[in-house]
Amino acid sequence: MNQSAPLTARRVSPILGIAAGVAAISTASIFVRYAQIDGAPSLTIAALRLLFASAVLLPLAWVRSRAELVTLSTRDLLTGLVSGVFLGAHFATWIMSLQYTDVTSSVVLVTLSPLFVAVGSVLFLHERLSRLAISGVAIAVLGGVLMSLGGPGGASQQAPNPLLGNALALLGAVCIAPYFLIGRRLRTRLSTLAYISVVYSAAAVALMVAVVVSGTPLVGFDPQAYLWMALLALLPQLVGHTSFNWSLGFLPATFATIPALGEPIGSSILAVLLLGEVLTPWKVVSGALALSGIAFMTVSRTHER
């Protein structure tokens, strides 16, 4: 009995971490939209989100993971910096997409990243996907695509520029795939705290450079806008994405990102309740299809273990 308990905990803990991450990141689109309503530019929102998160993490990482950070190899440091640049690009493109399309379409398209992660995992990490896992990816992505179409009377028809917004969200999905793949490699050698302190800080620096180069303002907004950006850093970033980073130490990259397809469901519900967006039967059915793909992935992972 003593030997089975740790094994059970080892199986359950990554799943709980992923569940917490899905719940936390589901609030991100709501906070972003509120900040945009209060006048904050999308690039500013992305930059301050990572800047605030890094400001919380770095002192803690220096106290608890100083030895890891000081002895970090040049290769690992450069790899982490590259990962951070991809993460920054992901946030910049996705947050900008929310200016032009509805929450559900934006979040569904950006969480199609498992398709790119699966391809990258096979090509670069030499991971193998079972037939059931591949079926789960296909079903989840199909549900996401159908949801993004909106169906008759979809909210995306009322968006300012849904084509541009959807394209930006899809570009965000492409950008986040290398971030997850790199994280899979680095998390085998670094603790979660050391890894995210490097990556989040690199993303913050990259976005701040983009802000300066583009001439985007950082100050002068309604104080409430800064509140939404601070909440973005604390809940979706530090709780949500950190949970996914931690799970990368235990699960292949594809499995760690597929459950993020649950985000469109949580975000859509919040968008209906808080933003008055329309959740049509089409999106309900396609969302259920995406969740069934997640279930396929869970069954596959359990069988492999």
pLDDT for 257-295, tens place per residue?
Answer: 566 667 877 888 899 899 988 877 777 787 778 767 766
Asked if residue 14 belongs to a domain, the reply is no
pLDDT in the model for residue 195:
87
Asked if residue 205 belongs to a domain, the reply is yes
Q: Tell whether 78 is covered by a domain.
A: yes
| pTM score of the predicted model | 0.82
Contacts of 200 (CB under 8 A, 6+ apart): 50, 53, 54, 57, 84, 87, 237
Residue 254 forms part of a structural domain = yes
Residue 75 has pLDDT above 80, yes or no: yes
Mean of pLDDT over the chain:
81
Per the structure, how many domains does the chain have? 1
Domain coverage including residue 243: 26-304
Q: Could you read off the pLDDT of 116-137 as tens digits, one per residue?
A: 777 777 777 677 777 877 788 7
Q: Which residue has the higher pLDDT, 179 or 5?
A: 179
Tell me if 12 is assigned to some domain.
no
Residue 52 forms part of a structural domain: yes
Residue 15 is predicted with a pLDDT of 66
